[in-house]
Chain A
Amino acid sequence: MKKTFPIFAIATLGLLSYALYQALVVAPTEVTMGNVQRIFYYHLPSAWVAFALFFVNFLASIWYLAKRTAGSDALALASAEVGVVFCTIVLLTGPIWARPVWGIWWTWDARLTSTLVLWLIYVAYLMLRRFASGGQTPVLAAALAIFGFVDVPIVYLSIRFFRTQHPQPVIGGGPGSGLDPRMWTAVLWNLAAFAAYGSLLVWTRYRMAMVERQVEEAHAQRALESNEGAEQ
């Protein structure tokens, strides 16, 4: 069991390098957009990983409210933090791609705006975790996580109606969205690599959170055993 983590870490590293090779060397240059399109191989997987992690956060929060286990709270925290990081990558790579292609940095289209709102919601979640005091943090955070997740479809619905300008789904969209098979390969490799990388980060953060908790527990236990232990 102890070796699982380093093995997984090394495998992730290998996967990331191979996916990088796929994205930069194997995949052909896109005809109209040129090399800048290659950022897509990071943009899209980051988005999917971020969304998946927010879903994990939602499940872990529900699990926490039902069972009150330390592990589920640690997982909720880890997935929200790493999810926000990936969501930030999406929001940063988007404009870098959009500027040369659409001629603008930002546009208020459905996908961009939804992602931004999602980012705001989960940053608020992390803020609450930071400012809530003591033992009630996990409960308050779990409640907010449920609000945040329930909000996502409504956000998407509202902004979709608001306006849409995003390139029509590059994958599985209508005609003209055809993707070169080699691009497909690069997308899938990067998706796998980012999923592995995301899981690795969450796992690390989860372990850190659990260790922090064990330290707290140990302090509390020592206070219990000592006779003078009323240390604040």
Chain B
Amino acid sequence: MSSEHISNDNAAGTQPAVALSEVVRHFGRFAAVREVTADFAPGRLYVVLGENGAGKSTLLRMMAGLLQPTRGTIRILGETDIRAVATRMGYMGHAPLLYDELDAMENLRYFAGLYSIHDDRVCAAAIERVGLNPELKRRVGQYSQGMRQRASLARAILHNPELLLLDEPFSNVDVKSAHEMARLLGAMRDEGKTVFVVTHQAAVMEPVADESIVMHTGRLIAREQGIPQSLLSPYARPSEVRR
């Protein structure tokens, strides 16, 4: 379960964390992702921006192995078989991916078991890391949205993954929680992890983002260092950014 070998043994940083090659995904006649080709170096924090329906979530779900691409290949941490690197990857969807009837600790204990982790201290540490109290016996269903998203992040990071894929982690989250989560993601990047965040709230990620990726109608249309000023406003139209 050591996730410290971020492939920096021999090919120090040359092997991309995620490599996409002509990735296409259709839903019937709808082309959600169209021929995306890109390499993403490890140890960086990427913010994926774009309007609704631009294909951001679809791309992330394919990277997580939840969806098969219609065409093209996806290489995660050097593997095309995504199941093989499942232990080294964490995913957070826009739904909480937690059981409402269990408290945070019970939820994490169950999911830790799926990763062969049978140590309550690991779960407690993950919960504390996102700023929640592991002793809290309240059921997740009674959490506020901000707390629920934090608990969900704790679930995604509990096995200390080297690649984190987060889909809208800040939706309906209060500003304070959002900024704390962003800071935590920055800290994880500083530990050498690769982080992808799909979001509409570019401003929240601005202090920690290394690179922004702009998608429009299924295509990857721009990659920028940091987050350009033009994309920071909540009313920004990412499609108007061009290479």
* A and B touching (Cβ–Cβ under 8 A): yes
Interface residue B118 (Cβ < 8 Å from any Cβ of A): no
* Chain B residues, Cβ within 8 Å of A135: 26-28
Given contacts A229-B217, A230-B217, A230-B218, contact A224 B34 (CB under 8 A): yes
Which residues does A use to contact B, with CB under 8 Å? 134-135, 216, 219-220, 223-224, 227-232
* Chain A residues, Cβ within 8 Å of B178: none
Q: CB distance B29 to A223 under 8 Å? A: yes
For B32, the closest partner residue in chain A by CB is A230
* Chain B residues, Cβ within 8 Å of A219: 29
Measured CB to CB, the closest approach of chain B to A29, in angstroms, equals 57
* Chain B residues, Cβ within 8 Å of A230: 30-31, 53, 217-218
The 5 nearest A-B residue pairs measured at CB? A223-B31, A219-B29, A220-B26, A224-B31, A224-B34
* Chain A residues, Cβ within 8 Å of B26: 135, 220, 223
Q: CB distance B35 to A224 under 8 Å? A: yes
Residues of B1-46 contacting chain A, CB below 8 A: 24, 26-31, 34-35
Residue from B28, B35, B70, B217 in contact with A227 in the complex, judged by beta carbons closer than 8 Å:
B217
Q: CB distance A231 to B27 under 8 Å? A: no
* Chain A residues, Cβ within 8 Å of B217: 227-230
A229-B53 Cα distance, complex, nearest whole Å: 12
Q: In the complex, how many residues of chain B place their beta carbon closer than 8 angstroms to a beta carbon of chain A?
A: 13
Measured CB to CB, the closest approach of chain A to B53, in angstroms, equals 6
Measured CB to CB, the closest approach of chain B to A164, in angstroms, equals 48
A119-B212 Cα distance, complex, nearest whole Å: 57
A13-B76 Cα distance, complex, nearest whole Å: 57
* Chain A residues, Cβ within 8 Å of B31: 220, 223-224, 229-230
* Chain B residues, Cβ within 8 Å of A232: 29-30
Residues of B193-243 contacting chain A, CB below 8 A: 217-218
* Chain A residues, Cβ within 8 Å of B29: 216, 219-220, 223, 231-232
What are 12 sample pairs from A and B whose C-beta atoms fall under 8 A apart? A216-B29, A219-B29, A220-B29, A220-B31, A223-B29, A224-B24, A224-B34, A224-B35, A224-B218, A230-B53, A230-B217, A231-B29
For A225, the closest partner residue in chain B by CB is B34
A18-B28 Cα distance, complex, nearest whole Å: 46
A219-B217 Cα distance, complex, nearest whole Å: 16
Given contacts A224-B34, A224-B35, contact A134 B24 (CB under 8 A): no
Q: CB distance B53 to A134 under 8 Å? A: no
B128-145 interface bits toward A, Cβ cutoff 8 Å, 1 = contact, 0 = none:
000000000000000000
For A223, the closest partner residue in chain B by CB is B31
* Chain B residues, Cβ within 8 Å of A134: 27-28
Given A135-B28, A223-B30, A229-B217, 10 further pairs, Cβ under 8 A: A220-B28, A223-B26, A224-B24, A224-B218, A228-B217, A229-B31, A230-B31, A230-B217, A231-B29, A231-B30
